[in-house]
Amino acid sequence: MANIAKKVSWSGRGDDRGERTPLLNGAEEVKYNNRQFSGGSIFHIGRLSTVDLEEEITPEESLDYDNSENQLFLEEERRMSHMGFGCLEIKRWVICGLIGFLTGLIACCIDIVVENLAGFKAILNVVRLSLTRLPDIEKFTEVGGLSISLILWAVLNSAFVMVGAIIVAFIEPVAAGSGIPQIKCYLNGVKVPRVVRLKTLVVKVFGVIFSVAGGLAVGKEGPMIHSGAVVAAGVSQGRSTSLKKDFKMFEYFRRDTEKRDFVSAGAAAGVSAAFGAPVGGVLFSLEEGASFWNQMLTWRIFFASMISSFTLNFFLSIYHKKPGELSSPGLINFGRFDSDIVEYNLYEIPLFIIMGALGGLLGALFNVLNYWLTIFRIRYVHRPCLQVMEAMLVAAVTATVSFAMIYFSNDCQPLGPDHNEEYPLQLFCSDGEYNSMATAFFNTPERSVRSLFHNPPGTYNPLTLGVFTLVYFFLAVWTYGLAVSAGVFIPSLLIGAAWGRLFGILLSFIASSQSIWADPGKYALIGAAAQLGGIVRMTLSLTVIMVEATGNVTYGFPIMLVLMTAKIVGDYFAEGLYDVHIKLQSVPFLHWEAPHTSHWLTAREVMSSPVTCFNQVDKVGTIVDVLSDTSTNHNGFPVVVHSPGSDEPGKLCGLILRSQLIVLLKHKVFVERASSRLTQRKLQLKDFRDAYPRFPPIQSIHVSQDERECMMDLTEFMNPTPYTVPQETSLPRVFKLFRALGLRHLVVIDGDNMVVGLVSRKDLARYHLGKHGLEELHLAQT
Amino acid sequence: MGLLIKCTFLTSCLFVWSLTLVKCTVYPPQVRGNGAINAHSPALDSESPALQARSLGYFYSLSLSSTFPDDLEVKEHCIEMLHIFGQRYVAYANCLVSYARPVKICQNCHTSFNSLVEMYTNISSDQLGPGNVSCHDTLMRSDRLMLLYTLFSKLNEIWTIAGCKRMSSENQDTLSNDTLYFMTSLNLSLTCFEKFQGNHSELCKDCKLSYKSLNELYGKMEENQTLCIDIEDSMNMTRRLWSKTFGCSFPREEIVPVIAVSCFMLFLPIIFYLSSFLHSEQKKRKLIHPNRAKSSSSLMNIQDKFS
């Protein structure tokens, strides 16, 4: 049997073995039969101690990217003139411009604040440490000058991080981390709650500032992508529900389809602002997100990216008091590689590939370690106060480790004439020299990356680099996943640049006679690309981002090769970091393709059944009861016509969504009322849009006993032509429909157009290709 | 400017075109520094064979020193200037080399540099000398090598990089007060070092004051940007003496308290994780169960497929 399917639970204890039960195995027929009658619970006998089946289930929602072409929609379309559509198009462009502008502005603010805070802190430390160099050093030693400065440093960092962690853990937990997994989910069609709210944006921005200022091993680039997405979601709606303010603008765009286009533009603008890579941003959106692409949308997204990059550039130039000098396109600036120094040769390509493999290995190690840590955190460190404490401890330990490394480092480098080291710290070095380890730790990570790329050969001691890589690697593993908002891009780049430079230095030792070609800066760049590729496993967009951020097209080919190798090697061992986290959050994420060996699965096996259906004209009481049934919490309901007198499921004639029903109930669109009072305003599509995106829960809608007896006519509001498939459709075919059309519900019908079942996103996301063939996951709730 | 270039280009194009039109043999045009083509060349079509023979003759038989027509020859006066420039150049280069290590070029070579600059300014100025001829064009812009300019700019660059201008006083002749003060201070320290040559611990204690004031002075000069290579080099040497040779730098201190505090800090997370592992209740995750078709036909189908 080729396909041994297994059930794997993500929330199991360390050993999943006990819960792995073959799904399709002749010997397990009895069990299999049992499952048919007990709704699957027989499979979890071993888990009943930890899983409470009775609890209310409120899973994350999917987004409706499929347009409901009901009669209201047709009417509105008929009313709209040719001009109206032109106006819409113009509005789209305006919104994209605004998205770019605001994203760039936010990036600019973050950059300026972080720079000032980091500078302030470093100065404080330098002053403190340099106190020990005063003539009365004997006196200072008595009171323990160095250990006091160590403690001060740790406390200062912890204090910063504490503020950052408190606002994340207590105000908006979804703002934790880089936000890229969440945006990936959103673009994939899963609505992670509260992910695109204004509050999230505010928490995110302040969280980033504090965590970067707190000296954690984090970067501010990843959160920019999330920020861009939130800006996009907010601007395109023309209102903020957090602020309860409606600008009465852009009302047409208040639905999932349109919003998603803008969110992908926002994500692109975020990447563009973070790395100064407009094309990379567009490709990021393409690679990670949207499944619908057309030329106009891409062009608009590119426009948003460019505007964002330009805005950042412009405001930073004003900040640096050189208005109009547009030379700092991104938050991170890798500096320019001088093309004649850093050419690469054909014989270096194998070396690059080796580095790519190394990056893949290290990246996989990073992901595996972080995976274990995250599982531990989910299980044991889930209370907000514990999370804050953990973040503070990480900050304190980071400071301590840095201090210890600075203290024990013997790597002294002579001060350069132009002082490209911003905070040279002498400590135990001789006069006129500085401790290069201190520079590596005191600088912002971005600056360290840049100096690893560009400092002339001989600036770094191999031992320093080795120890730094090791320590920073573990710090970064430990830091990612804390309840602070911070990204993983810069730490990975820094780790990679450090070991890449080490690699380059060692190479020039080996090839001592012709050491010119082994320029360590070049290898630092390749190493950074390899490490980042090994961790996040992005391909196309990362290549372009690196090329754009370094401003060097010459390295396009090596970087591509390196990223390819890193991805291949890394995928062999572990998934990408973002995928790991998406999985741990139990999000029904649909990948590009259905699992390979799943053609034998048909819609009949995949679908949920029986389906709760409504009649074309149904009683209000029934609808309210179904909607308020907490155990099911369905979102889409097929509308059927019953053949009179039969007990069979009815013929499908449409599909209606929970949100639509709720709006209908709220406006009390009942048949009786319509016939009795002719003056009542006809419900328009606008009413549905106004309620978007936070439809009130069913509990908040009061329906009196009399009204329960009324009837509701759904004909006008339902989608009369939902997508359907016959029962024999294979899983990949269903999958393709979902992925390409962004479906939320797919009705399964039999030959007579009778509703047999309903496939939703969760039914598909369960299946994935594991080590033993097709496996079925149990999506857990977070 | 662009227009000018365009015009020049156009004229040269015309010229080349006319050359080809009259089927003339190729004649090496005299090109001036500014790229314009010398227009008043001898008549083209009649004399061309003879001219060709003569130009070939220049290359193969005659030495280059043979006489040119009068208007192209370098004036006596200019030759004189060239000669003086050469002498001063040699003197300056000689001075640079002899004070290369330890670097003392700014103190010792500024007179020769100044005289060289003076000569160069004379040559490069557009002032008309005797005979109403400026040597500027003749000496400096007649050929593509532009030897005088290249030679001078290299040496001038050295002077600029060394920062010697910052060291001298306003009128460029004498050293500035800051520099002199630094020299005195430096000498003080060095004498002190000399005094305690044998005993390093004594030296560290007794010379600390003078060394410290020297360091401070240097720091101040660094801020004011009045440093030149001489001062930087001597300071580097002194610091190396102080830190490396005499070992007066600070020893690694407080190892025990630093290690103790670090260990304490590193233990905190271990305690934290252990306690949260032991005391915090494990978070339960709720699984969402599929609600599948209950008809047995589908089951039969699957079994059929795989049995």
pLDDT digits (tens, 9 = 90+) for B48-58: 444 454 554 44
Q: Could you tell me if residue B59 is inside a domain?
A: no
Nearest residue, CB atoms, A146 vs list B258, B272, B288? B258
> Sorting pLDDT into bands at 50, 70 and 90, what band is A650?
confident
Q: Domain of A208: which CATH number?
A: 1.10.3080.10
Residue with tokens 């075919």: A733
User: Per-residue pLDDT for A630 more than 80?
Assistant: no
Lowest-confidence pick of A457-466, B75-84, B193-202: B193-202
Q: In this structure, are A366 and A445 located in the same domain?
A: yes
Nearest CA in chain B to A586: B287
Closest Cα in chain B, distance from residue A147 (Å): 5
Q: Which of A529, A549, A584 is the last residue of a domain?
A: A584
Q: How far apart are CA A695 and CA A659, in angstroms?
A: 6
Share of chain B above pLDDT 90, in %: 5
Angle (nearest 5°) at CA A496 between A361 and A412: 130
At residue B213, the pLDDT reads 84
**pLDDT given at position A189:** 82
Q: Does the pLDDT at position A572 exceed 50?
A: yes
∠ CA A106-A109-A113, nearest 5°, is 145
H helical segments located in A511-643? 520-536, 540-550, 556-573, 577-584, 603-606, 620-628
Tell me the two tokens of residue A416. 């350069």
Q: What is the mean pLDDT of chain A?
A: 78
Residue A637 has a pLDDT of: 86
- CB-based contact (8 Å) between A605 and chain B? yes
pLDDT at A290: 60
Q: Residue B305 above 70 pLDDT?
A: no
Q: Which residue of A has its CA nearest to B265?
A: A397
Could you tell me if residue A128 is inside a domain? yes
Task: Please tell me the total number of residues recorded for chain B in this structure.
Answer: 307
Number of structural domains (chain A) is 3
Establish if B198 belongs to a structural domain.
yes
- Is there a domain that residue A595 lies in? no
Task: Name the A residues in 313-352 with CB < 8 Å from any B CB.
Answer: none
Contact flag A604-B280 (C-beta cutoff 8 Å): no
At A570 the pLDDT is: 94
- C-alpha to C-alpha distance for B222 and B201, rounded to whole angstroms: 29
More confident residue, B128 or A688: A688
Same domain, A451 and A577: yes
Higher pLDDT, A159 or A683: A159
pLDDT tens per residue, range A40-81: 333 332 332 222 222 233 345 777 777 777 888 888 888 888
Residue A214 belongs to a domain: yes
pLDDT in tens, B233-257: 888 888 888 777 777 766 666 678 8
Nearest CA of chain A to the CA of B223: how many Å? 12
Q: Give residue A635's pLDDT band: very low, low, confident or very high (50, 70, 90).
A: confident
Residues A386 and A458 in one domain: yes
Who among B252, B286, B291 is closest to A39 (CB)? B291
Q: Which of A51, A154, A429 sits opposite B265 (nearest CB)?
A: A154
User: SS3 for A667?
Assistant: coil
- Minimal Cβ distance to B258: which of A47, A57, A147: A147
Same domain? A575 vs A609: no
- B214-236 residue pLDDT tens: 888 887 887 777 778 888 888 88
User: Within an 8 Å CB–CB cutoff, is residue A59 touching chain B?
Assistant: yes
Asked whether residue A10 is assigned to any structural domain, the reply reads no
The type of residue at A339 is S
**Which residues 585-604 on chain A approach chain B with CB closer than 8 angstroms?**
586, 600, 602, 604
Nearest CB to B283 within list A10, A382, A762: A382
Range among A131-140, A380-389, B29-38, B127-136 with highest mean pLDDT value? A380-389
Same domain, B154 and B102: yes
**Is the CB of A604 less than 8 angstroms away from the CB of B252?**
no
Contact A758, A636 (CB under 8 A): yes
Q: What pLDDT is attached to residue A714?
A: 83
Task: Count other Cβ atoms within 10 Å, centred on residue A573.
Answer: 14
**Is A381 in contact with B291 (Cβ distance < 8 A)?**
no
Output A630 or B114, whichever has higher pLDDT: B114
Say whether A396 and B280 touch across the interface (CB within 8 A): no
A335: its two tokens: 């500096």
ipTM above 0.90, yes or no: no
**Per-residue confidence (pLDDT) for residue B225, from 0 to 100:** 77
pLDDT on residue B253:
65
The answer to whether B95 and B157 have CB atoms below 8 angstroms apart is: no
pLDDT range class, residue A675, cuts 50, 70, 90: low
Highest mean pLDDT among A604-618, A687-701, B14-28: A604-618
pLDDT exceeds cutoff 90 at A532: yes
Domain-located, residue A256: yes
The residue among A519, A569, A590 whose CA lies nearest residue A732 is A590
Taking residues A85-91, what's their average pLDDT? Answer: 88
Q: Are residues B158 and B77 in the same domain?
A: yes
Portion 246-265 of A in contact with B at CB < 8 A: none
pLDDT over 60 (residue A233): yes
The tokens for A635 are 């979102």
| Cβ partners under 8 Å of residue B225, min gap 6 | B166
Mean predicted confidence (pLDDT) in A711-717: 83
With b meaning 16 or more CB within 10 Å and e meaning fewer, what string describes A128-141?
Answer: bbeebeeeeeeebb
Point out the residue among B208, B273, B287 whose CB comes nearest to the CB of A778.
B287
- The share of chain A scoring above pLDDT 70, in percent, equals 77
Please compute, for residue A370, the number of CA atoms within 13 A of its CA located in the half-sphere on the CB side.
29
pLDDT score of A14 more than 60: no
- How far is C-alpha A726 from the chain's CA centre? 35
**Chain B residue whose CA is closest to A778:** B287
Q: What is the pLDDT confidence band of residue A99, given thresholds at 50, 70 and 90?
A: very high
Answer yes or no: do A530 and A440 share one domain. yes
Give residues with Cβ within 8 angstroms of B271, minimum separation 6. Answer: none
Q: For A198-207, A352-361, A436-445, B97-106, which range has the lowest pLDDT when averaged over its residues?
A: A436-445
In a domain, B133, yes or no: yes
pLDDT in tens, A372-428: 999 998 888 888 899 999 999 999 999 888 888 888 877 777 776 655 555 566 666
Residue A225: give the domain boundaries.
80-320
| The domain boundary residue, chosen from B228, B245, B262 | B245
For residue B215, give its domain range. Answer: 177-245
Does residue A150 lie within any of the structural domains?
A: yes
What distance in Å separates residue A757's CA from the closest CA in chain B?
A: 8
A147/B260 CB distance under 8 A: yes
Q: How far apart are CA A337 and CA A559, in angstroms?
A: 14
Of B162, B195, B220, which residue sits at a domain end?
Answer: B162
- Cross-strand partners of A655: A638, A719
Hey, what are A451's tokens? 């100096």
Which of B242, B269, B307 minimises the CB distance to A397? B269
Query: pLDDT-based confidence at B298, cuts 50/70/90?
Result: very low
Q: Which of B115, B223, B110 is nearest to B162 (CA)?
A: B110
Residues B158 and B185 in one domain: no
Per-residue model confidence as pLDDT tens digits over A344-379: 778 888 989 999 999 999 999 999 999 999 999 888
Paired tokens of A415: 């001060």
Helix (H/G/I), strand (E/B), else coil: B242: helix
Cβ distance of B287 and A605 shorter than 8 Å: no
pLDDT of residue A136 exceeding 70, the answer is: no
Instruction: Give the mean pLDDT of B264-272.
Output: 91
Is residue A557 located within the same domain as residue A644? no
**Residue B50 has what pLDDT?**
47
Other beta carbons less than 10 A from residue A624's beta carbon: 18
* pLDDT value, residue A126: 56
- Among B245, B275, B298, the domain-final residue is B245
Sequence length of chain A is 782
The reply to whether A350 and A279 lie within a common domain is no
Over range A495-523, report the average pLDDT: 79
Query: Residues A471-476: what's their mean pLDDT?
Result: 92
> Which residues lie closer than 8 Å to A472 by C-beta, 6 or more apart?
A217, A491, A494, A495, A498
What's the total number of domains in chain B? Answer: 2
Indicate if A580 and A609 belong to the same structural domain. Answer: no
Domain of A625: which CATH number?
3.10.580.10
Chain B positions touching A135 (Cβ under 8 A) are 208, 212
A722 in the same domain as A636: yes
Closest by CA to A446, choosing from A109, A219, A111, A206, is A219
Chain B residues lying within 8 Å of A165, measured CB to CB: none
Residue B129, domain member (yes or no): yes
Return the DSSP state at A774. Answer: E
**CA–CA separation, A526 and A453 (whole Å):** 10
- Tell me what pLDDT residue A494 has: 92
- What's the gap between Cα B212 and its chain centre? 32
Amino acid identity, position B265 = M
Residue A149 shares a structural domain with residue A281: yes
Quote the minimal CA–CA distance from B137 to chain A in Å: 36
Which residue in B has a C-alpha nearest to residue A8's C-alpha?
B287
What is the maximum span of chain A, computed from C-alpha positions, in angstroms? 103
The percentage of chain A sitting over the pLDDT mark of 90, rounded to a whole number, equals 19
Provide the b/e sequence for A458-474 (b: ≥16 CB within 10 Å). ebbbeebbebbbebbbe
DSSP annotation string for A209-247: HHHHHTT-S-BSSHHHHHHHHHHHHHHHHTEETTTTEE-
Q: Is A411 on the interface with B (CB under 8 A)?
A: no
Tell me: pLDDT of B70 over 60.
no
Q: A397 and A308 in one domain?
A: no
Q: Are residues A274 and A374 in the same domain?
A: no
The string of DSSP letters for A110-127 reads: HHHHHHHHHHHHHHHHHH
Q: pLDDT band for A328, please (50, 70, 90 cuts).
A: low
Among residues A258, A285, A320, which one ends one of the domains? A320
Nearest 10 degrees: Cα torsion A520, A525, A528, A531: -90
Same domain? B207 vs B235: yes
Minimal CA–CA distance to A406: which of A747, A29, A178, A122? Answer: A122
Phi, psi of A489 (to 5 degrees): -60, -55
- Which of A776 and A466 is assigned the larger pLDDT? A466
Region B292-299: what's the mean pLDDT? 46
